[in-house]
Amino acid sequence: MFRQVAQRLACTARRSLSTSTLCREGEKGPAEFLKKFTPHVSSTLSPPHFPSEFLPKTVSAEEGAAVPEKLTLNFFLPHETTVKDSKVDLVLLPALTGDFGVMPGHVPTVAQLRPGVVTVHKTLDKEIEKYFVSSGFAFVHADSSTDVCAIEAVKLEDLDPEAVRAGLQEYTAKLGALQAKGDDYEIAAAQIGVEVYSAMSAAVGA
Amino acid sequence: MALRRAGALGGMIQRTVQQQGQIAEGLVGDLTKQAALLDGAGTLGGVRHASQLAVKQRMRSVQNIAKITSAMKMVAASKMRVAQVNTEKSRGLLTPFLKLLGDLPAVEVETNIAVPVTTDKGLCGGINSSVSKYARGTLKAFAEEGQNSELVVIGEKGKAQLARDQASHIKETIADVGKLRITFSQVSAIAEELMKTEYDAVRIIFNRFGSAISFKPTVATVLSPDALEKEVEAGGKLDVYEMEGPDRGELLQDLAEFQLAATLNNALLENNCSEQASRMSAMESSTKNAKEMLDKLTLSYNRTRQAAITTELTEIISGAAALES
């Protein structure tokens, strides 16, 4: 009996805690969802969870706090987390509008990436890691952290120049052959191939 | 039974023979031989009584079931180990989206799509029925006020369960997702199919893998590019960010599509992992049950066998004693 009461109390405490942390989502957040959801299901069904509950706990930087010395970099792929919470000096990103560098205190930005090289300077001009990304997004947050999300990324030294050259030739030939026929989807696919491979060969050649 | 019927038949024939005054001894002899043969077929593996035979057969089938379920458990355990690694790796990609766009499950839009992620095969505990329950609740929660609420079901099991009462709401079903290893390109194809439904908000319902014995039913929300645009205008988090792209609308569309694929990828992997874990524990408990049952059956089999032997012995000894005295 007492155990049940304690459990119930703990449960309510948890719920109120989670709603208080999530209140920034306002009237569209999980709390509001549960209000709509609960009348339609049996009362014994426990409420569902939400992805925001499982976010890693981060200490949000206070307003006007000093700009940290290093940038926090996360590098995510759908099938892997390549870099997590790594402290770096500079990241060079290949955005669609042109390359740009991110240092601590950068303006919050959302950038769409093109096929190209992401350069990570762990210490400026000394420890450098280079990744080739196919495409994706980069988010620069106000708290001097940067998330790079790519579909596929490999270390530059893992690319085989021979294979890149062969791939570029294959897709260029394919594009030439297809342009005569005029299937839009196939042409677009071949164009993407040419674009990625030329970016790759430029990266390898450099 | 066969013996008695054959005997009755024999008697009848004998009577007819007597009535007709003819002799047909050959026929009667044949019948008795046949009856003896039938009776002999029942004795299997040292079992002497029909009741014991039934128990023996039951024991054999229970033992086979225990073997099958324990093999299934092993397979599920090894699959789970692989799936767990893949699932944990896929979680990272979700965090930037949640940070950037927030978690808005209660967003009010015109077309709501609920996507319950279920398994294709059964024998995996209650994970599918719980997802179906949450899907029904979500469907009803947004079916009011002229909102459009539909279902796109992933997995055969969810399809079968939801088709019972929500058949008119099911727009599409997708099956055989977890058959091979889940890849991002496969998920992208599903996401593309999902985008054809012209949704405003997709709520993906799946079992998030906690540990081998805990799965958390989770609702992940993804907005369409248009709904996302409205959210940003209404003062969403994205407002403070500068856009580095060719065109704001295009960038938001790409972002929303990428978010859909990433969320779906994670949901499918999580659910696949939960399925294996749930199957593992379900098969473990059914193996345990089968073994318990086998123990009980063995005990009752041995007891009746011993009882029969004792009775027979007593009969023989008392017969011998009667002759001696």
Query: Which tens digits make up the pLDDT trace of A97-126?
Result: 889 899 998 899 999 999 999 999 988 888
Whether residue A170 lies within 8 A of chain B, CB to CB, comes out as no
- Kindly report which listed range (A61-65, B28-32, B98-102, B192-196) carries the lowest average pLDDT score: B28-32
Residue A137 to residue B258, Cβ atoms within 8 A: yes
B10 in Cβ contact with B32 (< 8 Å): yes
Query: Which tens digits make up the pLDDT trace of A58-96?
Result: 655 555 567 788 899 999 999 999 888 899 999 999 998
Helices (H) and strands (E) in chain B, counts: 9, 6
pLDDT in the model for residue B67: 97
Cα angle, residue B112 at apex, residues A18 and B89 outer, rounded to 5°: 55
Q: In terms of pLDDT, which residue wins out, A17 or A69?
A: A69
- Kindly report which listed range (A14-18, A194-198, B255-259) carries the lowest average pLDDT score: A14-18
Asked if residue A205 has pLDDT above 60, the reply is: yes
Nearest C-alpha of chain B: how many angstroms from A204? 25
pLDDT in the model for residue A21: 40
Cα angle, residue A81 at apex, residues B185 and A196 outer, rounded to 5°: 50
Residue in B172, B194, B196, B197 with CA at minimum distance from that of residue B260: B194
Asked if residue B176 has pLDDT above 60, the reply is: yes
> What ipTM does this complex have?
0.83
pLDDT in the model for residue B163: 94
Q: Report how far residue B61's alpha carbon sits from residue B68's, in angstroms, rounded to the nearest whole number.
A: 11
Q: DSSP assignment of B196-211, as one string?
A: TT--SEEEEEEEEEEE
pTM for this predicted structure: 0.82
Question: What is B95-280's CATH topology?
Answer: Pyruvate Kinase; Chain: A, domain 1 (3.40.1380)
E strand or H helix at B70, and its extent? helix B50-90
pLDDT in the model for residue B76: 95
Q: In terms of pLDDT, which residue wins out, A62 or B301?
A: B301
Residue B184 to residue A151, Cβ atoms within 8 A: yes
Average pLDDT over chain B, rounded to whole?
85
Instruction: Report residue B1's pLDDT band, with 50, 70 and 90 as the boundaries.
Output: very low
Q: How is chain B split into domains, by residue range?
A: 1-41, 95-280
Whether residue A32 lies within 8 A of chain B, CB to CB, comes out as yes
pLDDT in the model for residue B296: 96
Residues in chain A, total: 206
**Which of A58, A76, A145 would best serve as a mutation to test chain B binding (most B beta carbons within 10 A)?**
A76
Tokens found for residue A65: 């706090």
Of B102, B220, B245, the CB nearest to A96: B245
Q: Report how far residue B248's alpha carbon sits from residue B229's, in angstroms, rounded to the nearest whole number.
A: 9
Of B107, B243, B244, the CB nearest to A28: B107
| C-alpha distance from residue A33 to each of A11, A15, A26, A53, A113 (Å) | 18, 13, 11, 14, 34
Residue B95 to residue A48, Cβ atoms within 8 A: no
